[in-house]
Amino acid sequence: MWTWFYKLASPPYVYAAAAALLPWFCTLALVTIGYGLVDGLAFAPPDYQQGDAFRIIYVHAPSAWMSLFAYTTMAVAGAIALIWRIKIGHAVAAATAPIGASFTLLALITGSLWGRPMWGTYWAWDPRLTSELILLFLYVGVMSLRSAFEDPARGDRAAALLAIVGVVNVPIIHYSVVWWNSLHQAATVAKLGKPEMSASMLVPLLSMLLGFMLFFGAVLCMRLQGEVLNRERQARWIREAVK
Amino acid sequence: MNGSFWAMGGYARYVWPCFAAAGIVLAWNVWSARRYQLACRLRARRMLQAGAE
C-alpha cells in the first residue's frame, strides 16, 4: 500500500521531479508575478482610506502568507522524516528553511514600511508583528540547530523537532488579530466566499500570491536538488545525475 | 509613465522601497539557491572523480 509513497520519496525520483518541474515553476512564476505587478501598481484603484500606500499589500501579504506556508511545509516534512524515517523529508525541510526565513524578513520589512504612514510608527510590539518576529527567530533557530551538530543526522532530527514544536506559532500568527487587540488589520481576503476587497484590487493580489507560491516551488526545486546531491553523494545513481 | 505614478499619491518613499526589498529578496533566493545547487553538483563530481582515480 505504501510502496508508491516510498517510491515518491526516493532521492533519484525527487531529484528528477525537481529538474522536470523547475522550468514550469519559473515560467509560471514570471508570468503571474509580472501580471500582478503591472495590474497592482498601474491599474488597481487607490484605496479610499490608505490611498496608494495600500499597494504595499501586493508584496507584503504574499510574503507573509509564504512565511507561514513555508514554515508549515518545513514542519510537515520534518514530521514525515521523523515518523516514517523518510530521509528526503529532512532534505525538504533543510531546503525550505532559508526560503521561508527570507519571506518572513520581507514580510517584516514591508509591514514596517506600511506601518509608518498608516500607524505613525515603523514598529509596535503588536501581537501580529511580535509573533511574526518570533517566526523569523524560529527559522534562524532551525537553521542554526541543523548546522550545530557534527553528525548531520542528529542535526536533522533536532531541527525537525524544533520545527514541529514551533509550528504552534503558525495559528497564533494567523489568529492574533482575532484573539487580541491589534493595530494590524483583520483578514480581508481569507474570509471564504466574501473577501472585503473589490475584484480590481483582489485579482492582482491573488496573482501575486500564486506567483510567490510558484516562485517558492522553483527555488525549492533548486535547493532540493542541491540537498539531494549533498546527502546522496555516495549513491550510485549520482554518477548519472551529475554528468 | 507620468509623474503621479511614481509619486504614488505622496507615499512613494514607502511604496517603492517595499517593491525594491521584494526584488532584492527574490533575486537573493534565486542567486543563493543556484549557487548552492552548483556547489553541491561540483562537490559530488569531485568526489566521483576522486573515487575513480
ipTM (interface pTM): 0.91
Q: Quote the pTM value.
A: 0.92
Predicted confidence band of residue B49 (pLDDT cuts 50, 70, 90) = confident
**Residue numbers of the domain that contains B51:** 28-53
pLDDT at residue A7 is higher than 80 = no
Average pLDDT over residues A118-124: 90
Average pLDDT over residues A191-206: 80
pLDDT at residue A190 is higher than 70 = no
Q: Which residue, A183, A197, A150, is CA-closest to A45? A: A197
Average pLDDT over residues A190-214: 84
8 Å CB contact of A110 and B18: yes
User: What's residue A236's pLDDT?
Assistant: 80
User: What's residue A94's pLDDT?
Assistant: 96
**The three cell numbers locating residue A4:** 508508491
Average pLDDT over residues A114-125: 91
Q: Does the residue B15 lie in any domain?
A: no
Contact between A72 and A99 (Cβ < 8 Å): no
Nearest to A56 among B14, B34, B40 (CB): B14
Q: Which residue, A233, A93, A176, A151, is CA-closest to B49? A: A233
8 Å CB contact of B43 and A229: yes
Is A23 part of the contact surface with chain B (CB cutoff 8 Å)? no
8 Å CB contact of B15 and A53: yes
8 Å CB contact of A51 and B10: yes
User: What's residue A191's pLDDT?
Assistant: 58
Q: Kindly report, residue by residue over A21-65, the tens digit of the pLDDT.
A: 999 999 999 999 999 999 999 999 988 888 889 999 999 999 999
Select from A230, A231, A234, A240 the residue whose CB has the most chain B CBs within 10 Å, as the one to mutate to test that interface.
A230
> What are the start-end ranges of the H helices in chain A?
3-8, 11-38, 57-84, 87-119, 127-148, 152-166, 169-179, 199-231, 238-241
Is A12 part of the contact surface with chain B (CB cutoff 8 Å)? no
8 Å CB contact of A114 and B5: no
Structural domain count, chain B: 1
8 Å CB contact of B41 and A226: yes
pLDDT at residue A192 is higher than 60 = no
Distance (Å) from the alpha carbon of A2 to chain B's nearest alpha carbon: 30
User: What's residue A16's pLDDT?
Assistant: 92
